[in-house]
Every structure is written in structure tokens, then in C-alpha cells.
């Protein structure tokens, strides 16, 4: 589903965020992207979502080589992935329904479908019946779940999440992770960038650890194996 | 075969309904947005309405002046003064010749004795005239050209033709002030055109700036929309609708302002015309004017919005996941 081949990313200010990075994520797999702030987690997500293109190397997502994808095909490409933000980025002047429906509306879905699929997505995150509520009337945890509903409403094969539990307490965080696990179980590829190492460990899933733009430890973090020294890299 | 036709028809109907749903969505979200920002919308529309009202008002003014002075276009003509020694009978003969010439609508002879009688009656110098040994006034022929022969060059040709007659002393063209009025109206029309062009550019700038601010206000929304796969076209659409709405409303306001101005001036104009014994009525903006202004406003609005949106939207790309 995702393949990084010797990828380097240098920003216009000269900072090299990623250096010679290679890894692969299989279809239907759920992985964690960890590392301290500035280690390159955001850069990896940006390269996957095609907000940036690599300086060197190749990024292949869902069969598309992002280096060569023409600009006009970027919207279509992005419809194949759902994104969950730490600050959820909901449109505060629109009700929950409109927020969740956005990916379907931009993809020209028929109105009948939109209603059905928005309700299905809200049902999955446990917010059925809140369609007409304004996001500001919801709790932080609920807002995060609306964001997740928006990410999955078009049933994308790939789900990206950047610190999805950053603003949540332990119980809510565990709930959100449970949701991601369920999506993964039905074949969605899930990439979660997070600081929350206890949660990563508890999940016993693969971890891709970044350290200064490279793989932190040999890419041996396979099948729930978690290295003891990871704690040392956590800041905050 | 029948099935595939049915399928393709169903598909095309679905795409039509998607198309209308898509545009309906943009239109609903646009009008909702304009309504929510009531005061700002009213101000923007007023400014643009004023800008569109000015050229229309000038145009209506020109039309009214032309109407009011239309009666005088008949005043274009020539006065042919015969030499004093030309006898009345000869003058009558020449008048008939002139009347038969093409391009001449009428030829009227004012004989020397008629002119003297009129002068005696109107001037009050009767006694002084009586002391003159003979009539000092010449026979005068007045000519009116047909409307299709009343252009300056045609009148000049007629004048040279008449001057060539040995019996003719001089020919005077009575068209100077008509030509001046024509020149003034022509100048006014040009002023109207220039004002219209400048103000159209102003309308584009106002709409462009309004749309630019709106885009900046909705930056977050645009980024999110692009991040979930919205194309530039999708993001631009509601802004184009907003531009067209602004422009259309401005056209309506502009026409309304001129109509109100006309209605408030009409009674006074009527009294003035009556004082001159004229049947002139101040004309207002017409329905074709309304459609021109509406359509023009919408086109300008679309253009302004398109320029602003194309410049701004390509700069707004999602920066962070």
C-alpha cells in the first residue's frame, strides 16, 4: 500500500527532514509512526498525502508513484485516503452532517448516497443522531470522532492519523485506537503518527520509529515487537 | 442492447442530477453565505450599484436631450439670398427648379414685398421704411433638405450648387447650432462610454477584492476541502456564484437608482417643458436597460471573482496533515 524507497526530503530552508528512508506498509496493515518532535513523522505523512514530494527517492501510495503524479490528478489521489488531524480541523460554522459529507460532496456523490453513508460513518464512531449539531457543542472527544467519521466516510483504502489522541485522556485515546483497529480489521491500511508510546506498546502492532529523518532502529520492529530503548527518544 | 441503452440513459441522468446537485450545493451555500453577511453584502452591492448607475444615468440623459431637441433637427436648412436686381417672377421660376432637385423636401420663396410687409408689421419702423425710395430687401428662398440628404457634406454640396447660380447673392446654412448640439451629444456619448469602461473596471476590482477577502476568511475550509480531494474547480465554484450574485444585485440596484432619480425629476421636467409649450417627457431607464445592467453586472462579477479566485486558490494548499 505504501512504499518508501531511499526517500530524502529537503525543505527550501535547507533542513533535511528525511534521509535515505525506506520502509513498506502492506495493504490492511496498521502501523505506528513514532519518534521525537522533528524526527520526520510529519514529513512522512505529508509525503504520503502528497502535500510534499520527495527530493530524492520514490514514494508509492496505493499504486501511484507520487513523484510523477500530475497536479490535476492530485485531488483524485487524495480521495483514496482519509486523514485524521490532531486538531481535527472541522468547519465550525457547519453542522456535523456537512463536515462528514465533505469528502463525498467533492467527489460528486449522489445525494441519496451521501445521506446514507454519512449516517453509516457517524454510526461507526458512535455519533448517530448528532448530524444537525454544531461541532462547538460537542466535547473534544466527540469532535475527534467527527473528524474520524469524515476520514472514513468515503471508505478510503488508506487512513492517516497525526497524533489523533494528542488532546484526549487515556480512556478516549484507547477508544479511538480501538476504532482504528476495527478499520484495520476490515482491510483499511492505517498509519498513526503518535507520541503515545504506552498506547503503541499496548497495541502490540508494528512501529516505524524515526530518528532525525532515518529509521531509528533496524526495521526489525515487526509483529508487535517493541524495543526497550524507545522511551529514551520521547520528548514531553 | 435495450439494457445497455437503459443503463447509459440512467448513467447520464444520474450525471445530470449530480451536475445539478453540485451546482445547487454551490448556489445554496453561496446565497446562504451572502445572507449571513448581510451588512457587508449590502455595502458591497451598493458601491457597485452606484458604479453601474452612473453610466446608465449619463446614457439616459443623452437620450433625453436628443428627444427634447429632436424637433429642431428640421431646422437644418438653407437660406438663399437672391441679388437685389432679380425680379420676383425670376425668383419664383428658380424656386420651382430648386424644389424639383432631389434631396430637397421643400422650397419656399419669401418675396421682397412679403418680407417688407412682415418687417413693417413687426419692427415698428413703418414710417422710416416709407421714406425709402424702394424696397431694400431681396427675395429669399428657404430650402429644407429631406432627412436622408441632411448630412453636412450633402448640405455643402447643395450650397455650392446654389451659389453657382448667377442670380444668387449668398447662401446661408442654418445648421451651425444644430451641429454644435450634435457635437455636444457625441462628446457626452463618448464620456458615457469612458465612464462605463472605467466603472466596469472598478466593479471588477471591488468584486475581486471582496472575493479575495472571502477566500482568505475561508482559508481553513479551502485547505480541508483540498485535502479531502476537492479540485480547484470545486473550491472556486461558490466564489464564482458569489461574484455573479453580487454583480446581478448591483445591476438591479444601479437600475433602481436611475429609475428613482428619473421619477423624482419627471414632474419638474414636465413643468419646464409645458412652460416652453413642448410635449417633452423625461424618459427613464427602460427594461432593456435593466437586462443590460443585470447581465453586465453578472459578467463583471463573474470576471472579478474568477480573477481573484484563480490568483488566490492556487496559493492555498494544505500545509500540514
Q: What CATH number has the domain bearing residue B99?
A: 3.30.70.3040
As a whole number of angstroms, the distance between CA A27 and CA A187 comes to 7
Among the partner-chain residues B14, B220, B229, the one whose CB lies closest to the CB of A107 is: B229
pTM of the entire predicted model: 0.69
* Distance separating alpha carbons of residues A154 and A117, to the nearest angstrom: 8
DSSP classification of residue A56:
E
For residue B258, the model assigns a pLDDT of 96
Reported as half-sphere exposure (CB side, CA atoms, 13 A), residue A224 has a value of 3
d(CA B293, CA B299): 10
pLDDT of residue B73: 52
Q: Given an 8 Å threshold on Cβ–Cβ distance, is B21 in contact with A85? A: no
Size of interface A-B (CB pairs under 8 A): 65
For residues B317 and B37, what is the distance between their CA atoms, to the nearest angstrom? 26
Is the same domain home to B64 and B81? no
- Percent of chain A past pLDDT 70, that is, above it, reads 92
Name the 3-class secondary structure at A70.
coil
Does B185 share its domain with B303? Answer: yes
CB B40 within 8 A of CB B217: no
For chain A, the average pLDDT equals: 86
CA distances from B136 to B82, B95, B170 (A): 12, 21, 16
- Write down the ipTM of this complex: 0.83
Task: Give residue B162's domain range.
Answer: 77-174
* Cβ–Cβ below 8 Å for A85 and B321: yes
3-state secondary structure of A129: coil
DSSP state, B86? S
The answer to whether B207 touches B49, Cβ cutoff 8 Å, is no
Strand residues in B57-103 grouped as ranges (E): 78-82
Q: Do A91 and B224 touch (CB under 8 A)?
A: yes
Task: Name the domain boundary from B174, B197, B231.
Answer: B174
- pLDDT, one tens digit per residue, over A155-175 is 999 999 998 888 788 888 888
Question: How many domains, in total, are found in chain B?
Answer: 2
Q: Is residue B7 part of a domain?
A: no
Instruction: Find out whether A31 and A203 touch, Cβ atoms under 8 Å.
Output: no
Q: Name the grid cell of B169.
A: 447673392
pLDDT band at residue B321 using 50, 70 and 90 as cut-offs: low
Q: Are residues B190 and B258 in the same domain?
A: yes
| Interface with chain B: mutation pick from A75, A92, A162, highest number of B CBs within 10 Å | A75
A168 three-class SS:
coil
Per-residue pLDDT tens digits for B44-99: 899 999 999 999 999 999 888 888 776 555 556 788 899 988 888 888 988 888 88
**A73 in contact with chain B, both atoms CB, cutoff 8 A:** no
Q: What is the mean pLDDT of residues B196-207?
A: 93
Average pLDDT over residues A177-181: 90
Q: What is the mean pLDDT of residues B168-172?
A: 88
Say yes or no to pLDDT of B130 above 60.
Answer: yes
Q: Whose CA is closest to B215, among B245, B248, B244, B237? A: B237
pLDDT at A230: 42
Regarding whether B120 and B27 lie in a shared domain, the answer is: no
Rg of the Cα atoms in chain B = 34
B30 occurs within a structural domain: yes
- Indicate the pairing of strand A81-84 with strand A158-162: parallel
pLDDT value at residue B1: 44
The A2-10 sheet, strands edge to edge: A16-25, A2-10, A56-61, A64-65
Q: Which residues contact A201 (CB under 8 A, 6 or more apart)?
A: A226
Alpha carbons A54 and A68: distance in angstroms, whole number: 10
Q: Is the pLDDT of residue A78 over 50?
A: yes
Does residue B141 fall inside a structural domain?
Answer: yes
Axis-axis angle for helices B232-275, B176-217 (nearest 10):
150
The residues with which B78 forms a beta bridge, in sequence order, are: B143, B173
Cα B206 to Cα A67, B290, B304: the distances in Å are 40, 21, 8
Q: Where are the beta strands (DSSP E) in A71-117?
A: 81-84
Measure B231 CA to nearest chain A CA, in Å. Answer: 6
With CB atoms and an 8 Å threshold, state whether B228 touches A51. Answer: no
Q: Exposure string (b/e) for A24-36, b if CB count within 10 Å is 16 or more?
A: ebeeebbbbbbbb
Q: Is A22 helix (H, G, I), strand (E, B) or coil?
A: strand
Chain A partners within 8 Å of B318 (Cβ): 49, 51
pLDDT 10s digits, A47-69: 999 988 999 999 999 888 988 89
pLDDT per residue as tens digits for the range A91-123: 988 899 999 999 999 988 888 889 999 999 999
Look at residue B180 in the predicted model and tell me its pLDDT.
Answer: 78
Residue B5 reports pLDDT greater than 60: no
Cα dihedral: A190, A193, A195, A197 (round 10): 30
Q: Using CA atoms, how far apart are residues B30 and A124, in angstroms rounded to an integer?
A: 31
Is residue A41 within 8 Å of A27, Cβ to Cβ?
no
Sorted by sequence, the CB contacts under 8 Å of residue B224 that are 6+ apart come out as: A89, A91, A102, B318
- Which of A167-176, B19-28, B163-172 reaches the highest mean pLDDT? B163-172
Contact between A230 and A34 under an 8 Å Cβ cutoff? The reply is yes
pLDDT at A224: 43
CB A109 within 8 A of CB A117: yes
**What digits encode the pLDDT tens for the residues B251-270?**
999 999 999 999 999 999 88
Q: Which residue of A has its CA nearest to B223?
A: A89
| Residue that is last in its domain, among B174, B196, B221 | B174
CA distance B66 to B63: 5
Find, in chain A, the residue whose alpha carbon is nearest to that of B318.
A51
Q: Which residues contact B217 (CB under 8 A, 6 or more apart)?
A: none
pLDDT of residue A218: 44
Average pLDDT over residues A35-41: 86
Query: In this complex, do A105 and B227 lie within 8 Å of one another by their Cβ atoms?
Result: no
Q: Which residue of B has its CA nearest to A109?
A: B18
Across A75-230, where does the E strand assignment appear? 81-84, 158-162, 189-193, 206-211, 214-215
Q: Which residue in A has a C-alpha nearest to residue B227's C-alpha?
A: A78
B229: nearest CB among A42, A85, A106:
A106
Alpha-carbon distance of A98 to A105, in angstroms, equals 9
Name the strand (E) or helix (H) holding B224: helix B219-227
The answer to whether position B5 is within a domain reads no
Cβ pair B21, A111 in contact under 8 A: yes
Q: What is the pLDDT of residue B14?
A: 52
B189 and B239 assigned to the same domain:
yes
Chain A hits for B225, CB-CB cut-off 8 Å, are 102, 106
Q: Based on the domain organization, do B303 and B184 belong to the same domain?
A: yes
Q: Which of B149, B174, B199 is the last residue of a domain?
A: B174
Cross-chain residue pair B18–A78, CB shorter than 8 Å: no
Q: Judge: B230–A108 Cβ closer than 8 Å, yes or no.
A: no
Residues B181-209, mean pLDDT to the nearest whole number: 91
Establish if B4 belongs to a structural domain: no
Q: What is the pLDDT of residue B72?
A: 56
**Which of B97, B133, B99, B135 lies closest to B116 in space, CA to CA?**
B135
Amino acid at each position: 500500500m505504501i512504499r518508501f524507497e531511499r526517500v530524502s526530503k529537503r525543505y527550501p530552508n535547507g533542513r533535511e527532514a528525511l534521509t535515505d528512508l525506506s520502509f513498506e506498509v502492506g495493504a490492511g496493515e496498521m502501523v505506528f509512526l513514532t519518534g521525537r518532535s522533528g524526527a520526520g513523522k510529519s514529513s512522512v505523512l505529508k509525503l504520503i498525502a502528497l502535500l510534499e514530494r520527495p527530493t530524492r527517492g520514490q514514494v508509492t501510495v496505493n499504486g501511484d508513484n507520487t513523484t510523477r503524479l500530475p497536479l490535476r490528478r492530485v485531488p483524485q489521489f487524495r480521495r483514496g485516503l482519509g486523514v485524521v488531524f490532531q486538531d481535527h480541523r472541522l468547519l465550525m460554522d457547519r453542522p456535523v452532517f456537512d463536515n462528514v459529507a465533505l469528502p463525498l460532496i467533492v467527489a460528486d456523490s449522489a445525494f441519496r448516497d451521501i445521506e446514507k453513508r454519512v449516517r453509516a460513518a457517524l454510526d461507526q464512531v458512535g455519533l448517530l443522531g448528532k448530524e444537525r449539531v454544531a461541532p462547538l457543542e460537542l466535547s473534544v472527544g466527540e469532535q475527534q470522532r467527527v473528524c474520524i467519521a469524515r476520514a472514513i466516510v468515503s471508505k478510503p483504502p488508506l487512513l492517516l492519523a497525526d497524533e489523533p489522541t494528542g488532546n484526549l485522556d487515556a480512556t478516549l485515546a484507547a477508544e479511538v485506537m480501538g476504532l482504528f483497529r476495527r478499520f484495520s480489521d476490515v482491510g483499511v491500511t492505517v498509519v498513526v503518527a503518535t507520541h503515545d508510546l504506552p498506547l503503541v506498546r499496548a497495541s502490540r502492532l508494528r512501529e516505524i520509529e524515526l530518528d532525525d529523518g532515518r529509521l531509528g532502529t533496524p526495521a526489525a520492529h515487526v509483529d508487535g515487537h517493541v524495543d526497550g530503548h524507545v522511551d529514551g527518544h520521547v520528548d514531553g | 442492447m435495450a439494457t445497455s441503452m437503459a443503463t447509459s440513459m440512467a448513467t447520464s441522468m444520474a450525471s445530470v442530477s449530480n451536475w445539478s446537485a453540485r451546482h445547487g450545493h454551490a448556489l445554496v451555500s453561496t446565497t446562504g453565505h451572502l445572507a449571513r453577511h448581510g451588512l457587508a453584502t449590502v455595502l458591497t452591492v451598493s458601491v457597485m450599484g452606484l458604479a453601474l448607475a452612473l453610466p446608465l444615468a449619463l446614457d439616459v440623459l443623452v437620450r433625453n436631450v436628443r428627444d427634447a431637441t429632436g424637433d429642431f433637427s428640421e431646422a437644418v436648412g438653407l437660406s438663399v439670398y437672391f441679388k437685389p436686381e432679380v425680379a420676383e417672377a425670376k425668383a419664383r421660376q428658380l424656386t420651382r427648379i430648386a424644389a424639383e432637385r432631389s434631396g430637397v423636401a421643400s422650397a419656399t420663396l419669401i418675396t421682397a414685398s412679403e418680407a417688407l410687409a412682415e418687417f413693417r408689421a413687426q419692427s415698428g419702423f413703418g414710417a422710416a421704411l416709407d421714406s425709402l425710395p424702394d424696397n431694400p430687401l431681396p427675395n429669399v428662398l428657404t430650402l429644407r433638405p429631406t432627412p436622408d440628404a441632411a448630412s453636412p457634406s450633402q448640405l455643402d454640396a447643395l450650397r455650392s450648387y446654389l451659389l453657382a447660380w448667377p442670380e444668387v447673392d449668398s447662401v446661408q446654412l442654418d445648421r451651425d447650432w444644430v451641429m454644435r448640439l450634435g457635437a455636444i451629444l457625441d462628446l457626452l456619448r463618448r464620456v458615457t462610454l469612458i465612464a462605463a469602461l472605467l466603472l466596469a473596471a472598478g466593479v471588477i476590482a471591488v468584486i475581486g477584492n471582496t472575493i479575495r477577502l472571502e477566500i482568505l476568511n475561508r482559508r481553513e475550509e479551502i485547505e480541508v476541502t483540498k485535502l479531502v480531494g476537492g479540485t480547484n474547480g470545486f473550491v472556486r465554484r461558490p466564489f464564482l456564484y458569489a461574484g455573479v450574485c453580487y454583480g446581478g444585485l448591483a445591476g438591479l440596484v444601479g437600475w433602481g437608482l436611475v429609475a428613482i432619480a428619473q421619477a423624482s425629476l419627471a414632474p419638474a421636467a414636465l413643468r419646464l417643458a409645458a412652460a416652453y409649450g413642448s410635449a417633452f417627457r423625461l424618459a427613464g431607464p427602460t427594461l432593456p436597460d435593466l437586462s443590460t445592467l443585470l447581465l453586465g453586472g453578472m459578467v463583471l462579477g463573474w470576471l472579478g471573482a474568477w480573477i481573484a479566485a484563480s490568483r488566490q486558490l492556487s496559493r492555498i494548499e494544505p500545509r500540514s496533515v
